Amino acid sequence: MIRNLFIYLAILIVGVLFLGYMILFGIPALQESTIVLPGMTTQVGADEVGTNKESLEKEISKLKDKLDKFTPTEAYIIINTNDNHFYLYKNKQLIRDGLCSTGKNEKLVLNDSPKEYVFHTPFGVRKVLSKQKDPVWAKPNWAFIEDGMPIPPPGDPSRFESGTLGKYKLTLGDGYMIHGTIYKRFMGMSVTHGCVRLGDEDLEVVFNTLAIGSKVYIY
């Protein structure tokens, strides 16, 4: 009786072990444990290696230089829209970083029109096209639609606001700008309509550091 029990137990253990093995074998690391591939077996003469080594090192050095030239030596700014953080560089050195606010990734759908507004900070490289002190904000249509207000005609005084964009603005094209804000509590959050908002002190440094033509990298 006991002897039989041991036999059954042994058979069951073997079965369970094999089943376990099969399950484990499904995991790539174990699945691949049987691969044996030939390594690199081709050898070349010592002199040839020396010559090739020198020429390869020269080529690599040239490639590094070429790649390095892609990074501007003049001032540029990187905007991280995910973390709402900016990084200001000059002479390839980080000179300032801090919080910003970027696009809220929202589509505003109109009630009586198929038109929709997309509030998103576009990724890619842009250039500073113009710089302005004490800018006046010319409110676009969406600003009224979003607030549930009727859209005034173009040039209407209600479209123009002073102070909303802070002390400075740097235009990036297609209506996008880097500017200041009166909504400082939203700094570090994705709340804008696509522009990049900076705090007062950061904005002043960015305004004074970036020139017209400076690159703005946004991701």
Partner 1 sequence: MKENSAEDFDSLFIKKKSNTGIKTFLILFSLLILGFTGVYTYLNVGAVRDRMKSAQAKTEGATPMSPSLIGLQKEKAWYESRLKMANSDSIGLSIDLENHLLQLELKGVVVLSSKIVDYSTSGFFKRMDGNVYFSMFGTPLTIQKYESSIEKNAFKVVQAPKSVEEAEAAKTKKDSLHHEVFWTVKLDRDFELNIQGIDSVTAAQSKYQLGKGFEFKRDLNNIANSFQHILKFQKPVYTPEILISIPANEAKAILNALPRKALVIIRI
CB of 167 to partner 1, least distance (A): 27
| Rounded CA separation 145/179 (Å) | 22
Q: How many helices (H) and strands (E) does the chain have?
A: 5, 14
User: Other C-beta atoms within 10 Å of 216: how many?
Assistant: 22
* Binding-residue pattern over the window 179 to 208 for partner 1, x denoting contact by CB under 8 A: ----------x-x-----------------
With CB under 8 A as the contact rule, the residue among 148, 153, 154, 157 that binds partner 1 is 148
User: Other C-beta atoms within 10 Å of 211: how many?
Assistant: 12
| Amino acid at position 21, single letter | Y
Binding piece for partner 1, criterion CB under 8 A, among 1-9, 152-160, 167-175, 195-203: 1-9
Q: Which is nearer to partner 1, 39 or 153 (CB)?
A: 39
Is 21 a binding residue for partner 1 by CB under 8 A? The answer is: yes
With CB under 8 A as the contact rule, the residue among 2, 6, 34, 153 that binds partner 1 is 34
Which residue is listed with tokens 């900070």? 121
**What is the helix (H) or strand (E) element at residue 28, kind and residue range?**
helix 28-31
* Binding-residue pattern over the window 43 to 82 for partner 1, x denoting contact by CB under 8 A: xx---xx--xx--xx-xx--xx-xx-xxxx---x-x-xxx
CB of 132 to partner 1, least distance (A): 26
The gap from C-alpha 76 to its chain's centroid, in whole angstroms, comes to: 15
Q: Which is nearer to partner 1, 101 or 171 (CB)?
A: 101
**What is the helix (H) or strand (E) element at residue 183, kind and residue range?**
none
Q: Which two tokens stand for residue 88?
A: 């200001």
Question: According to CB under 8 A, which residues from 104 to 143 bind partner 1?
Answer: 104-111, 118, 120, 123-125
